[in-house]
Structure 1
Amino acid sequence: MVSTRAVPNLAFRRLRGQRSAGEFAAAVRRAAREIGEQVACDARYVGRVESGEIRCPNYAYERVFLHMFPGASLEDLGFLARESVRGRGARTVPPPTTPPTLDSDIHEESDVLRRVFMTSGTTTVAAASLGLAGRPAAAVPPGVPPQRRVGEAEVEAVEKAVRQIRLLDDRHGADGLYRRAFQPLRAAYALLDAGTTSRRSTADRLHAGAGELAISVGWLAHDSGRFEDARSHYAEALATARLAGDAALEAHAFCNASFLARDTGRAREAVRAAEAGQRAARPLGSPRLLALLALREAGARAWLGDRAGCELAIGRAQSAFDRGPRDADPEWMSFFREAELELLEAQCWSALGDWPRAALHARRATRLQDPHFTRNLALYRAQLANDLAQAGTADEAAAAGHAVLDLLDRVQSSRIRGMLASAVRVLRPQGGPEVAALLDRYEELPPVT
């Protein structure tokens, strides 16, 4: 009989060093993102490894650990060879791992933000990475001397990266951008780690810029269906906001976290995040920001089937929106115009199953949308196509679907394609020449790469 007595993994514990289990777990998750893996590592998992409960990691964790410690083998890390733990009874059966929550990610990542990028190189190397079309950090000669202070040029580079990502997303969608945007994010946090800044205002701008960049990269992950990556990036931004005492960044992080929680079926968490965002936003003097956060709450309540709560939140959003723009409105909210207000209300009625009312608001959104936001032109039409299909208005739904297809050569968004796919599924059994023409075009769509 194979013994199930756990033997502590002292080698792995030594590799953790002075970092807490939570800090080390956050470093593992970041290392996973660097090589395209997704692992739900938390402090509890690290404890299970160190206690010997996990005698050999699964293949995803193996790749991450070997990436973190180049040249090491599993045995060097204190694990048993994989073949020795295969088979029934070869290891103790642990309880199911609980996926990390947003709050646990915040606590685990907040302390590690200023440590995890210690190996990212000098600030000179980091600054060279800030630019989606610039030279990669690895191309910078290793002899470049370190820059001891972060100044105006570096902060402006971070802020420019944020604006460039948003502009490209507005025009083209997220799918082709996410991998390219990760290196500027890494570089921004390397700058936070590198020495001191000469002025407090510069430090504040750098924290805000890095946090906004984390949210932007998180949104690219979100829109391209990489939900765990998005969750980690949003938590990273929220941790940065709290370290810097930046209420505006905190409100933004909660806004996106609420959106993500709703999209991944955690409606109650979405409500809590939207409410927390509203608390952070109230002192900022931006009614439009409060309106957007109220709509995030409304959408989450709709998914819970709370029609009364949804309607109350929509009412607060409309009242706040009607107070007009303010100088205090965040730069990132440039997309939040009347068209977006209509679109988000349409999504509420969709979630509640009131398809004619949803289609009414989606139709308004398409009519009001600024053509500059190419991605949203496709998004709003995809919403309209789905709402009309659900309402039984097949020909008009097919026409909206054609309008989406007309834009997909310029817009790469897994989310939009998923919405169109939902409309197609509903339309397929309804038939008719318009629907048939749409189905023919849809079947010719190239696969997502």
Structure 2
Amino acid sequence: MKPTDMNVFEKLESEVRSYCRSFPTVFSKAIGSKMWDESGKEYIDFFAGAGALNYGHNDPIMKSKLVDYILDDGITHSLDMASTAKGQFLETFNETILKPRNLNYKIMFPGPTGTNTVESALKLARKATGRTDIISFTNGFHGMTIGALSVTGNSFKRKGAGIPLHNVVTMPYDSFVHDKLDTLEYLERFLEDRGSGVAIPAAMILETVQGEGGINAASYEWLQRIERICKRWGILLIIDDVQAGVGRTGTFFSFEKAGITPDIVCISKSIGGYGLPLALTLIQPELDIWAPGEHNGTFRGNNHAFVTATAALSYWENPKFEASISKKSEKTKAFLEKLIADYPEIKGHFRGRGLMVGVCSEVEGFASKVAAEAFERGLIMETSGPEDEVFKLFPALTIEDELLEKGFSIIEESVKAVVGQKEAIAN
């Protein structure tokens, strides 16, 4: 087969493309935690589709189920009509995920994207409470459509809306200023004081670990206090688990260890298991006051994704799977903390939780240079944060220990190379 000319993307694809600029090659194959480009070069994947591939690429169990379903002429598209595939997913999700965690949610299928589940959550919160305002948090990222952008902190992305974004008040996330400032005392004062200019909102929306915002992890105590504040004022709590959920932080839901129960949960990305588009909005039953069709979408009935999502849930039937995530998380954190200690010149700080972690460097441009160097050496990872100051590790939850450690070696080599470049310039 003739190799793909990279110029085709330059000539024909919109300037809006981004990841192909960070990873300038043409990928052709992927298995597990490895990818190959058309030249045959192998890469270790510490990107995992920005959290959409928590089980790696082309999982054999999911692939087999999907191929069989297609060959049997299973329903592909059905809007929100009842289908065998959807019924099996609903039953399996309830039995495998919700019941063991004593959670009781109605399951809504919005359009199959993260931003759409956020849009549906915001609409429902306003409908259920009769209020208009939402409280969001600094450095939060919730999607690229207008409602989701209104609760997103990144000024570059907000500017892309092209119009003013209203009915949202932004409050400081945990440790936004520094560890000693109690950001929730500040928030509560705004709610209590009638002169603050902040009305009681319909909802608060937050990520327990902020992915695009810099891998900032809220403490469990902070999350528990947020829940208490919401209950005190009759505010709905929306947890955006689009990126932090489905095991990424160690447990299926990122909020489990905090012991909180959100009113609404937004799920997408890895819920489809295989990288197929799917999103869920989980709703406390008393809040499920939608009129039929009040929030809909042509592709909310993605049956191929239901098939792979159901197969993916089989991982969670075995407690050893969650235990394996914990072990890999500990190993990854230990590596990053040692890296920070061994290379003090990077002025690094550990960020994150589980396998949603990274290093924040105070050295301008350092994280981006490390990610670029790693790509040249055969490792794919991205940066995050308002200034791309964090290089983040998102390996698949299923990655083999040997491959995980090989990825660590490439990262250390890359850090060493970038530090060496700076020393050479200084001399």
TM-score class, shorter-chain normalisation, is under 0.3
Normalising to structure 2: TM-score of the pair?
0.28
Structure having the higher helix fraction is 1
TM-score (norm 1): 0.27
Structure number having the greater strand percentage: 2
**Whose relative contact order is higher, 1 or 2, with alpha carbons under 8 Å and at least 6 apart?**
2
Query: Greater CA radius of gyration, 1 or 2?
Result: 1
